[in-house]
A and B are shown apart, each in its own frame.
Chain A
Amino acid sequence: DTAVSQTPKYLVTQMGNDKSIKCEQNLGHDTMYWYKQDSKKFLKIMFSYNNKELIINETVPNRFSPKSPDKAHLNLHINSLELGDSAVYFCASSQDPGGLNGYTFGSGTRLTVV
């Protein structure tokens, strides 16, 4: 069973479109995250939710809106996609917000905006 699964794995879309990436974890973790990996491979946190509550919202454009219907799911919706949004987006989870017990990552979603 996949611990953290995110869909789709690849997403190619035109500028201006709205798209969503879904993430689910079956580890029973309380905390979930979205990370963005840019073209230089740098990973940076975007959002973090603990038990469905937003606890981190980094400097991310308002076009990005996370939603956590329950603690096992954290979806990412992106409005009015721009070329600069092209990146790999990783979902991750940890047992608690401190994450000192480890983080588990999904396999990533490669978003290409054309």
Chain B
Amino acid sequence: AQKITQTQPGMFVQEKEAVTLDCTYDTSDQSYGLFWYKQPSSGEMIFLIYQGSYDEQNATEGRYSLNFQKARKSANLVISASQLGDSAMYFCAMSQYGNNRLAFGKGNQVVVIP
């Protein structure tokens, strides 16, 4: 079974600072994808960034970057220059070919303070 672990409690971040959200995963497969989603208080699930297991470079999307350490099975999300609008719940998720689903971690709550 897929297992995604996000253990950090709720985090308060100063505006304009960077924040790192931890995610570790457990799989014996070689082919998989790692995703981060943002869920603001309005409730929608917003895709942020994707890392394929065979990608050699860390994924980046604007202020979001994924620190992928395959041997340690970690896929931490880094948000640079935090903005008030970054306050949300953040979910790490994994997909494995043949497993036909996206498995989610329990999420990290982030609050950006001015």
Whether A and B are associated in the same complex: the answer reads yes
| Interface SS, A side | strand
* Contact segment of A59-67, A71-79, A105-113: A105-113
Contact A110 B100 (CB under 8 A): no
When distances are taken between beta carbons in the complex, the residues of chain A under 8 Å from B32 are 100
Interface size, chain B (Cβ < 8 Å): 26
Chain B residue numbers with a CB within 8 Å of A86 are none
How many chain A residues touch B (CB < 8 A): the figure is 27
Q: 11 pairs across A/B with beta carbons < 8 Å?
A: A45-B101, A48-B100, A50-B100, A56-B101, A94-B102, A97-B98, A98-B97, A100-B33, A102-B50, A105-B44, A108-B43
Show the binding face of A for B, using Cβ within 8 Å: 31, 33, 40-45, 48, 50, 55-56, 88, 90, 92, 94, 97-100, 102-105, 107-108, 110
